[in-house]
Amino acid sequence: MNADKHFILGVFNDEDVLMDAVKKVRGSGVRIHEVFTPFPVHGLDEALGYRRTRLPIAAFLFGLTGTTLALVMQIWMLGYDWPMIIGGKNFASLPPFIPVTFELTVLLSALGMVATFLIVSDMKPYKWPRQFDVRSTDDKHVIAIDLAVNRGKSKDDLARLLREAGAEEVNEKNFED
Q: Find the angle CA(143)-CA(145)-CA(151) to the nearest 5 degrees.
A: 160
Task: Give the whole-angstrom CA distance, residue 62 versus residue 122.
Answer: 20
Q: Near another protein by CB under 8 A, which window of 117-125, 146-154, 156-164, 166-174?
A: 117-125
Q: Per CB under 8 A, does 27 bind another protein?
A: no
Please identify which residue in 4, 103, 156, 164 interacts with another protein, judged by CB under 8 A: 103
Tell me the chain's radius of gyration from C-alpha atoms: 25
For residue 151, the minimal CB distance to another protein (Å) is 23
Q: Per CB under 8 A, does 113 bind another protein?
A: yes
Please identify which residue in 9, 59, 145, 170 interacts with another protein, judged by CB under 8 A: 59
Q: Which residue lies nearer to another protein by CB, 157 or 173? A: 173
Please identify which residue in 9, 25, 30, 35 interacts with another protein, judged by CB under 8 A: 35
Q: Per CB under 8 A, does 56 bind another protein?
A: yes
Sign of the alpha-carbon torsion through 40, 140, 17, 132? negative
Q: Per CB under 8 A, does 110 bind another protein?
A: yes
Distance of CA 155 to CAs 8, 13, 127, 168, Å?
8, 22, 30, 17
Spell out the residues 6+ positions from residue 134 whose beta carbon is closer than 8 angstroms to its own.
none
Name the DSSP letter for residue 53.
Answer: P
Q: How far is CA 23 from the centre of its chain?
A: 21
Q: Per CB under 8 A, does 176 bind another protein?
A: no
Is the CB of residue 110 less than 8 Å from the CB of residue 116? no
Question: Which positions lie near another protein, rule CB under 8 A?
Answer: 15-16, 34-41, 44-45, 48, 50, 53, 55-56, 59, 73-74, 77-78, 81-82, 84, 86-87, 89, 93, 96-97, 99-100, 102-104, 106-107, 109-111, 113-114, 117-118, 120-131, 134-139
